[in-house]
Amino acid sequence: MATQTRGQSAERRSGSGAAAKQDRTSPALFLRQVVAELRKVIWPTRNELVTYTAVALAFIIFMTVIVTSLDYGFTKLFFWVFG
């Protein structure tokens, strides 16, 4: 069948109520799955976290200085030209 998607049978796509109820999970099962996925995550070490945070803050400060400088320069330019 041309309209069938990969991994789903025609019965599941039909929208019948029985198939929809079987797809639901209980909140307890959902939480167990979340915890299982979080255990797979490779968490950064404290040193990596400090390094990443420092790099992000340095980049933000650098970009803030650039934008502020451009804003100040354009303001002075416009006041000189029009003002």
Question: Which tens digit of pLDDT belongs to each residue from 24-70?
Answer: 889 999 999 999 999 999 999 999 999 999 999 999 999 999 999 99
Q: Is the pLDDT confidence value at 21 over 70?
A: no
Tokens of 29: 């099962």
- Listed in sequence order, the residues at least 6 apart from 4 whose beta carbon sits closer than 8 Å to its beta carbon are 10, 13
- Listed in sequence order, the residues at least 6 apart from 5 whose beta carbon sits closer than 8 Å to its beta carbon are 13
The confidence score (pLDDT) of residue 23 equals 84
Q: What is the pTM of this model?
A: 0.54
Residue type, 36: A
Helix (H, G, I), strand (E, B) or coil at 17: helix
